[in-house]
Amino acid sequence: MRTVEENHWLNPRVLLLLLTLFQLFWAHPALAVYEELAVQDNNEFGGRSIVFRNTEEGIFEGKNHYDSAGKMMKEERKYTEEWANAHGTSTLVSDFLFDIKISEDRFFSNAYASRRLISRTNSKYEQATGTLIKQTNYFVQNHLGFNVIFYDLGVKQRMEWNYPNNEFGYAKVITYYNAQGKVEKVENLYTDKAALFYGCARSVFFSEGEKKLRREWYFTEEWAAKNNGAIRKVRIFYYNPSYPIEPKTYYFNSKDEVVTPAEPFEDD
């Protein structure tokens, strides 16, 4: 029969060491992987909010917000500078509906943003399936504006580049994709100043992969009035494996009749 001293798990010295390690572990948050910092009642969703840190995931402050039924409504994550510089994300905020994520705001560290030129990304998800339906990327440099990508069941449908700070040139460029992810149409919308100067408010380019099919330019009323009523220019591309064919260009008025402008439009 063993004595207490012989059973190392019951040895007072071993127990004292384990107790000391236990107290040391919990007394120093840096040593703990997960630590609950606070519990807040009656939050904006009528439930509880739990504040915590998780050193393994680089979270120095996290918040989980629940409704009165205990369902997740919102997650907030603030990451350490070291983690953010290594992984890119400095802050992450996610919104939920019936425990399914419907929105996510991801803010990037300065180091990451300077390399990738994106300061923040907002993603929207379909509540029924949880699939990505829309993603907005905000760029570091103001002249780059922001772009919005639209998805259908995870497949990219179109991408809109917005230039709110542009006074001259493009106001928005919209790229449309086919089911195979190839570009099939690009629509260019010009700023008011550009339209006034050049006489063109919008242009649309149709393609099949790298192959040009048709290009269209839509003119302002002022330009049309000076150019025999031409409101639209169309260029059609032809392809023949045996010999090259020059594209054909036409101008149309509001009645879709072919007209000849006083001055042909210099296209982009």
> Domains of the chain by range and CATH?
39-45+55-259 (3.90.930)
Model-level pTM? Answer: 0.77
Q: Which residues contact 194 (CB under 8 A, 6 or more apart)?
A: 168, 169, 170, 171, 200
Q: Using alpha carbons only, how large is the chain's radius of gyration in Å?
A: 30
C-alpha dihedral sign at 144, 145, 151, 154: positive
pLDDT the model gives residue 17: 54
pLDDT at 143 over 80: no
Percentage of the residues of the chain whose pLDDT score is greater than 90: 70
| Amino acid in position 129 | T
Q: For residue range 151-187, what is the model confidence (pLDDT) as tens digits?
A: 998 899 999 999 998 999 999 999 999 988 899 999 9
11 pLDDT band, cuts 50/70/90, is: low
